[in-house]
Structure 1
Amino acid sequence: MTAELELSTWLPPEQTLPDAVASGRKDARGADWRGQSLGTLDLSGASLCRVDLSGCDLSHCNLDGVDLRLARYDSTTNWPEGFDVRSSGAVGPGAKLNGAFLNGADLRAMDLRGASLMGTYLSGADLSGTLLDDVRLVGADLRHAVLRAARCRGARFGSCQLDYADFRGADLTNAGLESVESIKGADFSLCIGLGEQLGVLLARPYLELDCWNPMTRKNTRESLESLS
């Protein structure tokens, strides 16, 4: 017989603190643990989906069987020696997220430099201010994605779907946009670094260039020509 839920002591997973995990609670989905030193905490089998681990010290934690899907980490997060965070499903610098479903994800101001996002589903995701230098986005779905002021130096967008993507103010220096699948309705206003690629993009079919973006209230051709 299933035990009754004791509402007087129940907390939603996102309010779970590391101490509660040490006491046996294994569900901390969506919690904010930024900057914490977790000592020798036993996190084996814990559900840490979407937990923010930026700046955390987990170097002495037991991470056997831990679920880190969509957990956040940054360059200051410390992991146990030999732990392969890049293939864990967590999101951060160098993460291997090829083909992952990140539709509508809030990835604002994250450091994703060197990550692999080939074929990743990012439709409607918010990547405003995100560091995407040298990220491989080949074949990714970025329709309706927001990349305002994102830094995309050297990012590879080959075969990407960029319909209605919002690139306003993004840094696209040395980014590979020549072979994108579509830029229909995308807004490139205030972008920097397009260089010779500006002419390549302006040579795209008129059905893409003259498509109105209802969110930014501008068509793609107008946004590109404003950079000349």
Structure 2
Amino acid sequence: MTSTPSTTATTTATSPVTDQHLSRADLQRLVADAPAALQFERCTFDGEDLSQMDLRGATFIGCTFADAALEAATLTSTRWLDCRAARAQLQRADCTDARWHRCDLNNTDWTRARLSSALFAEVKLTGAHFREAHTLGLEFHESLLVGADLRGLSFRKQTLAQLDLSEADLGGCDFRDALFEGGSLRDAHLKNTRFDGADLRGVDLGGLKLAQVAPFFKGAIISGDQAAALVGELGVRVL
């Protein structure tokens, strides 16, 4: 007798919302009626104003949020798989402990967002902005950050696996004692960036000028081939 209510509640909590275009009003009704965190599959929220909504713990699979506004939304412990959210606005959103996997988040804006203990894995973040974001424990893995604005972020002592940081603005970033496993820093902006003790032997340093990066690479570990390429930028032949 006691097991029946539990089984019913579990079924309700895990039944996903599928294949719908949802407005702010639709989402508000679903959140108000839900006994637990919601799950959405292949739903569209394109262009919707979802700012300041409380969606904590929700799971989104194959959903789209193109041009959606999620400013100051509560997205703590949310899970995002195979989602697309180009140009979405997430300024001041609370994304603590959120997870994004295989998502397209190009040109998104995370200004002053809370991203503590958040994870981006196999995610496209080309042109994304992370100005003044709170990022303690934030991790990126195997992701595209081409042209992204990451100024002032700390990656100290992290293992950075296959991050494409080409043309990214890394001004003031802290890469001390970080280990780069592949990836690229080609043509990145490195003003006041710190690499003390960083292992850069696996990263593409193409396009960087020795005269420009020498002050910031002090104490970094690079390979002989990388050193030769940097010196070659001065027109010097290394034999």
CA RMSD of aligned residues (A): 4.7
For the residues of structure 2 that align with 1:126 and 1:67, how far apart are their CA atoms? 25
Q: For residues 83 and 185 of structure 2, what CA distance do their matches in structure 1 show?
A: 26
Preserved CA contact (<8 Å) 2:110 2:133: no
TM-score, normalization by structure 2: 0.54
**Structure 2 CA distance, aligned partners of 1:127 and 1:183?**
19
1:35 aligns with 2:70: no
Aligned to 1:173: 206
1:122 maps to what in 2?
155
Q: Of residues 139, 158, 164 in structure 1, which corresponds to 2:191? A: 158
Q: 1:210 maps to what in 2?
A: none
Rounded to whole Å, the distance in 2 between the matches of 1:100 and 1:85 is 13
**Paired position in structure 1 for 2:222:** 188
Matches within 5 A, 1:140-151: 140-151=173-184
2:79 and 2:215 map into 1 onto residues whose CA distance is: 32
The corresponding residue for 1:86 is 109
Q: How does 1:182-221 map to 2 (within 5 A)?
A: 183-184=218-219, 186-189=220-223, 192=226, 195-197=229-231
Task: Report deviation, 1:191.
Answer: 6.5
TM-score (norm 1): 0.56
Residue 112 of structure 1 and its aligned partner are, at CA, apart by 0.8
Question: Could you tell me how far apart the structure 2 residues matched to 1:33 and 1:77 are?
Answer: 14
How far residue 75 of structure 1 moved from its aligned partner, in angstroms, is: 7.3
Q: CA offset at residue 107 of structure 1?
A: 0.7
The aligned residue for residue 56 of structure 1 is 83
Percent identity between the two aligned chains? 21
Amino acid paired to 2:109: R
- Report how far residue 51 of structure 1 moved: 4.4
Counterpart AA for 2:195:
L
Pairwise CA distance, 1:133: 0.9
Match of 2:104 in 1: 76
Unmatched tracts of structure 2, length 5 or more: 1-5, 18-26, 38-53
Contact 1:137–1:160, Cα closer than 8 Å, also in 2: yes
Query: Is 2:130 the partner of 1:97?
Result: yes
Give 1:110 deviation, angstroms: 1.2
Inter-partner Cα distance in structure 2 for 1:105 and 1:172: 24
Contact 1:174 1:194 in 2 (8 A): no
Q: Deviations 1:151-190 (Å, cap 9, x if unpaired)?
A: 2211122221111212231111013552544532x32238
Which AA in structure 2 matches 1:116?
A: D
Once residues 140 and 131 of structure 1 are traced to their aligned partners in structure 2, the CA distance between those partners, rounded to angstroms, is: 15
Aligned residue pairs total: 182
> SS of the counterpart of 1:107?
strand
Of Structure 1 and Structure 2, the greater strand share is in 2
Task: Give deviations 1:73-125, integer Å, cap 9, x for gaps.
Answer: 877359xxxxx832454772212223444354321101111111222222123
Q: 1:147: how far off?
A: 1.8
Letter in 2 for 1:178: V
Give distance in 2, aligned partners of 1:100 and 1:173.
28
